[in-house]
Amino acid sequence: MQMSLVKNPDTSTGLAYQVARIVYAQTSGGTSLPSVEAFTSMIKNLSVASGIDIGKLIKDRSYFSVLNPDDKNYSLLTVSADNPAYQMCLRTAQRMLSGGLPDCCFGAVRFHYSDYIPDWARARGYIADIDGILYYR
Condensed to tens digits (0 to 9), the pLDDT of residues 78-98 reads: 999 999 999 999 999 999 999
Give the confidence band of 3 by pLDDT, cuts at 50, 70, 90: low
Residue type at position 16: A
Total Cβ atoms within 10 A of residue 83: 15
Average pLDDT over residues 54-60: 97
Quick one: what percent of the chain has pLDDT higher than 90?
89
- At 2 the pLDDT is 67
- At 12 the pLDDT is 46
Contact (CB, 8 A) for 26 and 85: no
Average pLDDT over residues 16-34: 97
In three-state secondary structure terms, 101 is: coil
What is the DSSP track for 51-96? Answer: T--HHHHTT-TTT-GGGSTTSTTGGGGG--TT-HHHHHHHHHHHHH
